[in-house]
Amino acid sequence: MVLDIGSFDVILVNDTSGKEFGFRGVTPFDSNVSQPAIAIPIINNGPGSTLFFRFSGQQEFITFSFVLYDDGSDVSDGDSIVTAIQQHNYSRENIFTAEFNTSWTLKQANHYTSSEGVVISDLTINRENNSGGYMTGSITLQRGRVFGA
């Protein structure tokens, strides 16, 4: 089963298993692109004489917030993940796991017109709101693919 991008703000697809998870209530994406450099200031010279060395290329981190709630819709690809608690547990057991070589494809209806390869670097879910039948959370994805995955 393939999730309908029109029903979700963001869909993550596991590149190995093909499993999907849909996020709703997504805030606009924050995108942070960096090119790390190591500064080597030269003694007795001003900032304009500082030398920089680059040991890596560009990195992009994509962060967005979301809401887990139960409206009767399955947010996975047929695993019957409906309630906020089921969504929370599924995200911990099947999305952000200890497995290192998992890469994902990010599908997003409004911001990206093509699929983006990403690795999940952070997932936070606030369980305090569960009494109201929903939970809020945020996820940070690093653009790229795991070598060998």
Which residue range(s) make up the domain with 48?
A: 5-143
> 17-66 pLDDT, tens per residue?
888 888 888 888 888 888 888 888 888 988 888 898 888 888 888 899 99
Cβ-proximal residues to 48 (8 Å cutoff; 6+ apart), any chain: none
CA 41 to CA 47: how far, in whole Å? 7
Q: What is the pLDDT of residue 138?
A: 93
Rounded alpha-carbon distances, angstroms, from residue 148 to 16, 95, 100, 101, 103: 12, 19, 11, 8, 10
Residue 46 resides in a domain:
yes
The DSSP output letter for 32 is E
Residue 149 resides in a domain:
no
| Residues 100-115, mean pLDDT to the nearest whole number | 68
Report the amino acid identity of residue 84: A
> 64-78 pLDDT, tens per residue?
999 998 888 888 877
Tokens of 142: 């690093």
CA 124 to CA 34: how far, in whole Å? 22
CATH number of the CATH domain containing 118: 2.40.30
3-state secondary structure of 84: helix
Where does the pLDDT of residue 14 fall: very low under 50, low under 70, confident under 90, or very high at 90 and above?
confident
Residue 78 resides in a domain:
yes
CA 122 to CA 126: how far, in whole Å? 13
pTM equals 0.77
3-state secondary structure of 89: helix
Where does the pLDDT of residue 129 fall: very low under 50, low under 70, confident under 90, or very high at 90 and above?
low
CA 102 to CA 56: how far, in whole Å? 22
Residue 74 resides in a domain:
yes
Report the amino acid identity of residue 14: N
Strand partners, 24: 67
